[in-house]
Amino acid sequence: MSGVGKPHNGTIQEQDIAPRRECPTGPTENYAKKLEEKRNLLRRQKSNNRRIMSRGYSVTSVGRLDSQGSVFAPEAFEQISFAEDKKVRKKRSMSRSISASSADSFSSASYTSSDEEDDVSPREKLQTNSKNFSDFCIRNIKHADFGRREIEIAEQEMPALMDLRKRAQGDKPLNGARIVGCTHISAQSAVLIETLSALGAKVRWCCCNIYSTQNEVAAALSEAGYSIFAWKGQEEEDFWWCIEKCITADGWHPNMILDDGGDLTHSIIKKYQTIFRGMKGIVEESVTGVHRLYQLAKTGKLSIPAMNVNDSVTKQKFDNLYSCRESVLDGLKRTTDIMFGGKQVVICGYGEVGKGCCSALKGLGAVSYVTEIDPICALQACMDGIRVVRLHEVVKTADIFITCSGNKNVITRESLDKMKNGAIVCNMGHSNTEIDVTSLKTNDLTWEKVRSQVDHVIWPDGKRIVLLAEGRLLNLSCSTVPSFVLSITHCTQALALIELFNAPEGRYKQDVYLLPKKMDEYVASLHLATFDAHLTELTDDQAKYLGLNKSGPFKPNYYSLNALITLGCLHFP
C-alpha cells in the first residue's frame, strides 16, 4: 500500500482517509455519511487556519480559538479611563470572581448566564413568576430553579434556624409583623426570610450591598412570592430605588425594620417620619449600623426602640470571628489566585473581624501586621505574636492591605500612592468608606477591569494596585460565607424581631438595647446538637453558690464580648 511507511506528522490528511465505498445497505450508508462530514470538517479547519495565519493573529496574545477557528479577544484586559467607567460598568458581566480553572463549578456565588436578557437593567423589564406575581425586581426570574437548590443546600448547614422555624411556626409569634429588610441577599438570608414568613410575618426585602446579591437566590425568592428588589452589580441609583420600593407599596405599612448597615433606617427617618414613628422596632446587625443608631439616640432622633445584635456574644464571637477567618481566604483566592506564604499583610483593625483575618493568614504562612488605636486590641495583637505598626511604616513594602475597622478613610490616596506595584487592597468591613476609592477616580489614573470585582488601578508611571470589589465587603462580594455561622447570626436576628414585636408596652424605650443574654445563650444551645455536645448541669448547691439560675442566663445583660472595643474601632484615625 502506498501509504505504508510514510512518516506521519500527527495531523489527519484528507488523502489518508480511505475512499468512500458505495453500498445500498443501511449501516454502510451511515458510515459513509459520517465519513463525508469528517472530510468537510477537515476542509473547514484548513481554511480557517490559513485565514488566521494570513492575518497574523497570535492566539496566545490576542485571545482563543473556538471549535470553528474563530478568534475571541478577551475583554479582561480592556483599559478604560474613569470617565468611561460608568458607561462600561453597566455592560460588565456578573460572572463569578474566580480563576479560569474553576469556571465550570457552580456554587452560591458562581451562577453566570449568557442570556442576552441579563444585559438589560431589571428596572427596564417586567417579569412575572409562574403564578403571575410581579411585585419584585431582580436580574432574571428564569434562574429560580438554580436558586432553590442553593437555598436547599444552605438549609442543610443551618439546622438551628430550621429547628427554630419548626418549633415556632405553630405559634406564629410574628403574626401581624410587616418587616422591611435590607441585608445581603444570599442563600443563607433566604432561609431567614422564609423562616420569618413561616413565623407569620409579611416581608419586603432589598440588598445592603450592590455586589453581594446572589441573582439566582433572588429569583427563587421571587418565584416563591416574596417581594425582592435586588440584583448583583447595581448602580448607586438602583440601590436607593430598591430601598424605596421596599418601603412604599400599595397597602403596605411596615412596622419592623431588619437592617444591615443602617441605610434602610436612614432612608425611612429622612423621608417617611410618619411611618417611622409608627414602627415597633429596629434590629441592626452591623458595626456601622449600630454606630448610627447610637448617634440617633444621642441626638434624640430615635423615636422607637432598637436592638443591637452586632454586640451579642454569638454574633461577635462566631459571625465576626469564625466567619471572617474562613471567608477572607476564600475571597482573596477566588479573585487573585495569590499564594499567602511569605506575603506581608497589613490588617487595619484588630477587632473580632481583624482577629479572624490574622488567624487565617498566619496559618498559611503570611507575615501579618496590625494597625490599631485601641491599646487593649493592640495588646491582644502583641500577645498573639503580631506586630502592631502605623500604616506609613509598612505601606511601601506590604503585599496585601485589608481594612476591617468600621471607620472612614482608613486607607487614603496618600497611602495608595506609596504602595508598591501589584499591592492588593480590599475591605472586610461592612461599609465601603474604609478605602478612599473616590480619590482614585481621577483623570490621571486608569482603571483596568481584570475580572468581575477585580480592577487594576494604574498610575501614570505604570505602577498598578489590585482593588477588590471597589472597596466593598470582600467576602460577600467575591465569595461566600459559611452557612453554619450565618445560622447563628440569623437565629439571633429572628429572636430579636420576635422580642421587640411581642414586648409589652414600656419594656423598651426610645433607645438602643443589647439582645437579652437568655436569648443569646438559647441561640448557642440550639447549635450544640450538631456537634453532639452535652452541657453539664449545675447542682442546686452550685447554682446557689454562683447566684445563678440553673438554666441560665450565665452572663449578665451588660456583658458583651466586644463592649470595650466597639467604639475604639469606630474611630480609626
Return residue ranges of the chain for CATH 3.40.50.1480.
Answer: 122-311+482-526
DSSP class per residue in 372-435: -S-HHHHHHHHHTT-EE--HHHHTTT-SEEEE-SS-S-SB-HHHHHHSPTT-EEEE-SSSTTSB
CB 293 within 8 A of CB 284: yes
Q: What angle do helix axes 187-198 and 483-502 make, rounded to 10 degrees?
A: 30
DSSP class per residue in 158-196: -HHHHHHHHHHTTT-TTTT-EEEEEE--SHHHHHHHHHH
pLDDT in tens, 416-434: 999 999 999 999 987 788 9
Report the b/e string of 89-104 with b at 16+ CB within 10 A: eeeeebbbbbeeeeee
CB 419 within 8 A of CB 401: yes
Going from the C-alpha of 392 to that of each of 369, 385, 399, 416, the distances in angstroms are: 12, 21, 14, 10
CATH domain 320-478 topology: Rossmann fold (3.40.50)
**Beta-strand relationship, 400-403 and 387-388:** unpaired
Reduced to 3 states, what is the DSSP secondary structure of residue 102? helix
Going from the C-alpha of 476 to that of each of 60, 211, 387, 395, the distances in angstroms are: 33, 8, 28, 26
CB 398 within 8 A of CB 423: yes
Task: Please list the residues that pair with 307 across neighbouring strands.
Answer: 283, 513
The CATH number of 122-311+482-526 is: 3.40.50.1480
pLDDT confidence of residue 89: 47
CB 363 within 8 A of CB 457: no
Burial tier of 409 (Cβ tally within 10 Å: 0-12, 13-18, 19+):
middle
pLDDT confidence of residue 316: 79
pLDDT confidence of residue 38: 67
Cell of residue 54, nine digits: 494570513
471 φψ region: left (φ > 0), alpha (ψ -120 to 50), beta (else): left
CB 234 within 8 A of CB 207: yes
Cell of residue 288, nine digits: 456601622
pLDDT confidence of residue 5: 44
Going from the C-alpha of 124 to that of each of 138, 212, 247, 386, the distances in angstroms are: 11, 21, 20, 51
pLDDT confidence of residue 60: 38
**Beta-strand relationship, 446-451 and 79-81:** antiparallel
pLDDT confidence of residue 314: 85
Return residue ranges of the chain for CATH 3.40.50.720.
Answer: 320-478
Low-confidence ranges of the chain (pLDDT < 50): 1-25, 50-78, 80-83, 86-116, 562-573
DSSP class per residue in 344-366: EEEEE--SHHHHHHHHHHHHTT-
Reduced to 3 states, what is the DSSP secondary structure of residue 370? strand
Cα 539 to the chain's mean position, in Å?
45
Burial tier of 259 (Cβ tally within 10 Å: 0-12, 13-18, 19+):
buried
What's the CA angle centered on 320, arms 234 and 503, to 5 degrees?
85
